[in-house]
Amino acid sequence: MALCNTPLRVGSLAASPRAVLPISPRQCPRIKGHGGPQTAAASASITLANHSGISTTQAPQQTESFLSRYALGAPLGQGAMGTVVSACDRVTGEEVAVKVVAKQSNAGRHQRSALHREASLWRRACAASRQAGRFIAIEEDASNYYIIAEKCNGGSLQQMLDDRGALSEVELSQVAWCVLTFLSDMHSQSMYYGDLKPGNVILKDVYPCSSDPGCLNVRVVDFGCSQLVTHGSPLRSLSGSPLFLAPEVITGAYGLPADMWAFGVMLFMLICNRLPFWLEPIPYLEQLDMDSIHDAIRYNPVLFAGPKWRGVSEELKDLICGLLEKDPARRLTAAKAMEHPWFESTKDMCTLAL
């Protein structure tokens, strides 16, 4: 979110020196979502300057200090630019998630502009979709910025994947319907989300639980890569997480279909804990340079290989192939994906969980 000369690191914050992409002074890696640590190159995002078409010049809120109103609790996630912690309103008792971003002495108004830009797009997303994590406020004091949002209690899909190795197809269908609803809502308002991956999708409630349905209801968080799309004007800024980038993002002219590509990569990853264009495990991909990653995305076929694909339905494979169509003009849209036969048996249950 902050604007600096920091290079993008693919993978963990201590990735191989070969996995470094120089980016412009108006871009930098940003903090992960509050779902906790993420895996491999999925954890590193490229953010962008203010190409959203919205005003981001706002004065600091003149209210009582954040720390006098909220008691900070345990950390929920750690990233290159700050920490996400739980917090409790001292008056109402409401628990929230707070992204704490230290002020950078050399960034000044550029850092404030980037954070307010993210907050403005997050507000728009909340108005568009119930599946967006609820934005509450952005505040600051002399030392930090505080982005205050709904606290979800189930952890991220990345944590679930790390703990369990994979989701079942039934579990995946419920999660996928919620995320697809979010994308459909965003795209109907010409909003490009820009960084879909398991670490940015948070379970609203602890799973498994006794209530049915509802345990696998999710919220999407972290809007630092989001942009508004104008018909006929492609987006061009390189942003997102490298292993989830659509081919057209790499070549520099893209739009809403790039979100659908990332959705397909995420479905593939959640069912087998691997990525679509490599047979190697994700940690191996930390060692790849960006050219190798880009070439695999652009030219390799989808590889349904390995024991975790045994028993997976042909309908799910067909859906993934439709999402990972390299030609964005032929790729499934959110509306078309919602009509796919794979969702037929779970659509009603998923709708009830919203």
Mean pLDDT of 220-243: 93
The letter for the amino acid at 98 is V
Burial class (CB in 10 A: 0-12, 13-18, 19+), 62: exposed
Q: Which domains does the chain have, with CATH numbers?
A: 8-150 (3.30.200.20), 157-353 (1.10.510.10)
Q: How confident is the model at residue 9 (pLDDT cuts 50, 70, 90)?
A: very low
23-54 pLDDT tens trace: 222 333 333 334 433 444 445 676 654 544 45
Q: Which residues are annotated as a binding site for ATP?
A: 103
Residue 76 or 260, more confident: 260
Residue 5 or 179, more confident: 179
Q: What percent of the chain has pLDDT over 90?
A: 67
State the angle between helix axes of 257-272 and 157-164 in degrees (0 to 180), rounded to the nearest 10: 30
Q: What percent of the chain has pLDDT over 70?
A: 77
H/E run at residue 207 = none
* Strands annotated E in 160-295: 191-192, 201-203, 218-220, 227-228
**Do residues 177 and 339 touch, judged by C-beta distance below 8 A?**
no
Mean pLDDT of 224-231: 93
Bond before 22 cis per omega within 30 degrees:
no
Mean pLDDT of 200-205: 92
Distance from C-alpha of 105 to C-alpha of 212, rounded to nearest angstrom: 49
Q: Which residues are annotated as a binding site?
A: 103
What one-character-per-residue DSSP string does 46-67 give? B---S-SSS----PPP-SS-HH
132-146 pLDDT tens trace: 999 999 999 999 999
**Over 90: is that where the pLDDT of 310 sits?**
yes
pLDDT, residue 165, reads: 93
74-131 pLDDT tens trace: 998 876 567 899 999 999 999 999 999 999 888 778 899 999 999 999 999 999 999 9
Q: 54 vs 1, 20, 229, CA distance in Å?
A: 16, 31, 12
pLDDT, residue 57, reads: 44
Q: Which of 32-36, 62-66, 170-174, 255-259 has the highest mean pLDDT?
A: 255-259
* Strands annotated E in the chain: 8-9, 20-21, 70-79, 82-89, 95-102, 135-140, 144-150, 191-192, 201-203, 218-220, 227-228
pLDDT, residue 46, reads: 67
pLDDT, residue 214, reads: 54
Q: Mean pLDDT in the chain?
A: 82
pLDDT, residue 47, reads: 60
The letter for the amino acid at 77 is G
Q: With left for phi above 0 and alpha for psi between -120 and 50, is residue 86 left, alpha or beta?
A: beta
Distance from C-alpha of 151 to C-alpha of 129, rounded to nearest angstrom: 17
**Do residues 217 and 204 touch, judged by C-beta distance below 8 A?**
yes
pLDDT, residue 205, reads: 87
Q: How confident is the model at residue 148 (pLDDT cuts 50, 70, 90)?
A: very high
What one-character-per-residue DSSP string does 83-108 give? EEEEEEETTT--EEEEEEEEPPTTTT
Distance from C-alpha of 65 to C-alpha of 250, rounded to nearest angstrom: 43
Burial class (CB in 10 A: 0-12, 13-18, 19+), 63: exposed
pLDDT, residue 351, reads: 56
